[in-house]
Amino acid sequence: MNPLISSAAGPLKGTCAVPGDKSISHRALMLGALAVGESRVSGLLEGEDVLATAAALRALGATVERGDDGVWRVQGVGVGGLAEPDAVLDLGNSGTAVRLLAGICASQGFTTFMTGDRSLCRRPMGRIIEPLERMGAQFVARSGGRLPFALIGAAHPLPIEYRLPMPSAQVKSAVLLAGLNAPGETRVVEPAPSRDHTERMLRLFGAQVSVEAEAEGGSVIAVAGYPELEPCTLTVPGDPSAAAFPLAAALIVPGSDLVIRNVGVNPSRIGLLETLRDMGAAIEMDSMREEAGEPVADIAVRAGPLRAVEVPAERAPRMIDEYPILSVVAACAEGTTRLNGLAELRVKESDRLGATAAGLRAAGVSVTERDDGLDIVGRGGPLPGGGLVATQLDHRIAMAFLTLGMASEKPMTVDDGSMIATSYPGFVADMNALGACIATH
Ligand code: S3P
C-alpha cells in the first residue's frame, strides 16, 4: 500500500506533456510482434500494463527490447509465427493486455495459460471467450468466465462475423486480431463506435481492413486473414486519458492556464473534451497533425466557471475511462450533472461507478448512484475535501481523487497510489511540477 495525500494547489501554469497512449502502446508492441522484421516504437508508455504486454510477447517468441535511446525495438515473427510459452502469462492489472493477447493466441495452434492481479481476476472474460470459441479456440476458465484460464488455440481457426453485445474496443480487437491468422475475412459488427486504434494500426502495418456502414446504424469492420504485416517505425501520441488529469486540474484550480502538448485526439477518444466544452470550459486544440495514423494536437485550457450538464449514454464509449475525473469536475460545477449509460463502468479495474460515488461522498459531495449512472450535485466552487478514498486497485480512481484534493479546502487521501504506475508512472512528479502538492501520507 502506498497512501498519498493531495492538498490545495497553486494555479497550474505553463506547458506539460503526458506519457504515450496506453491503448496504442499495447497495440504497437503486439502488431510489431506479428510483423515480419524489426519495428521501432518511440514514445511508448513504459507503465506496468504495457510492460506486461512486452513480457508476454517475449514469452511468445518475439524479441522486444528497449534501447538506451528510449526506442523500443520489436523483432516480429509473422502472424502465425508465435510459439507456446513455457510459463503462465501474468498480465497484471491489464484488461487490454489479456483480452487482446487472448485474441492473438486463439488462432495459434498451442496452449497458453493466462492470469492477472486480484482486480483482473475479478473481471469478465466471457465476452472474449464466446467469440473466440466460435473461431475454434477452447478455454478452461474459472467460474463466471474469470481468470486464470487456459486457452487452447485453434490449429485451424474459422473466420466469423460477430456482433458485439456491448460497446467494447477490447472485444472488437480480440476478434480482429484472431482473424489475422484465420482464412478469409473476419468481421465484427459494432452497433456504436468504440476506440478504433486496432483498425488504424492494422492498416499502418499493411493489413487490409475495411469499415462499412451497417443497416442498423452501426458499422462492420472486416480484416483479411493471413496478411504479411510490414514492420513500422512509429511514435505513440500522448494519452488523452492521462491528459484528462492535468486538464481537469487546470479547470478546477482557480487562475490556471495550461498547455498540454502532443495529445492524441482520435474522435473515438474525445468525449471528455466535448462534455467539458458543453460545461463551458475554455479548451482549444492547436497544431493538429498526424502521428502513427492518429490525430494529435496541443490542448490549451484555462480555469473558469463551469455549469452542470446531462451527458448522453451514447457518448459513453468515447469517454469510457474519463468518468471518474469528469465526476470530480462536475462536483466543482454549478448545478447537478447527470451521467448516463455507465453499466460498463462496473466491470473496469474496479466497480468505477461505486468507487467514484464513494470518493465524492468522502470529499463532502452529494451524489446519487443509479444502476448505470450518477447524479452529482456540484458545489459551484471549491469542495470540502478531507476524506479518505479506497482506490480498489484502480489507477484512475487514485488519480481522479488526488486531482480533487488540488481544488479542495482540506486535503484528500487515497489509500493506495501504487496502481498509478500501471498507466502514468510520472503522475505525482508531473502534477507537483505544475503546482500540485501530492505527498506520501
Ligand atoms: C481499451 C478499451 C476500453 C477501455 C480500456 C482500454 C482498449 O475497454 O476502458 O481502458 O485499449 O481497447 P473496453 O473495451 O472494455 O470498453
Q: Give the model confidence (pLDDT) of 168-202 as tens digits.
A: 999 999 999 999 999 999 999 999 999 999 999 99
Residues with CB under 6 A from ligand 1: 23, 96, 168-170, 173, 195, 320-321, 344
- Whether 278 is catalytic is no
CA of 24 to the centre of ligand 1 (A): 11
| pLDDT for position 266 | 98
Protein residue with least CA distance to atom 13, ligand 1 = 168
Q: Which of 16, 15, 18 is nearest to 239 (CA)?
A: 18
Q: How confident is the model at residue 312 (pLDDT cuts 50, 70, 90)?
A: very high
Burial class (CB in 10 A: 0-12, 13-18, 19+), 215: exposed
- Cell numbers found for residue 321: 475511462
What is the per-residue pLDDT for 77?
A: 98
Q: Which atom of ligand 1 is nearest to the CA of 169?
A: 14
d(CA 66, CA 231): 16
Mean pLDDT of the chain: 98
DSSP state for residue 229 in the 8-state scheme = P
Peptide bond connecting 124 to the previous residue in cis, omega within 30 degrees of 0: no
Give yes or no for residue 217 having a pLDDT over 90.
no
Q: Of 168, 199, 351, which is best to mutate to test ligand 1, by the most ligand atoms within 8 angstroms of its C-beta?
A: 168
> How many Cβ atoms are within 10 Å of 394's Cβ, its own excluded?
24
Model confidence pLDDT, tens digit, residues 353-380? 999 999 999 999 999 999 999 999 999 9
Residue located via cell numbers 492535468: 246
Q: In this predicted model, what pLDDT tens digit does every residue of 112-141 receive, in sequence order?
A: 999 999 999 999 999 999 999 999 999 999
How far apart CA 129 and CA 106 sit, in angstroms, is: 9
Catalytic residue among 90, 321, 375, 394: 321
Q: What is the pLDDT of residue 215?
A: 84
Contact 292/237 with Cβ under 8 angstroms?
Answer: yes
Confidence tier at 216 by pLDDT (50, 70, 90): confident
Note whether 264 and 295 are within 8 A (CB).
Answer: yes
* Distance from the alpha carbon of residue 72 to the mean position of ligand 1, in angstroms: 23
Cα 88-89-95 angle, rounded to 5 deg: 140
What does the pLDDT average to over 103-119? Answer: 98
Q: Closest ligand 1 atom, CA of 241?
A: 10
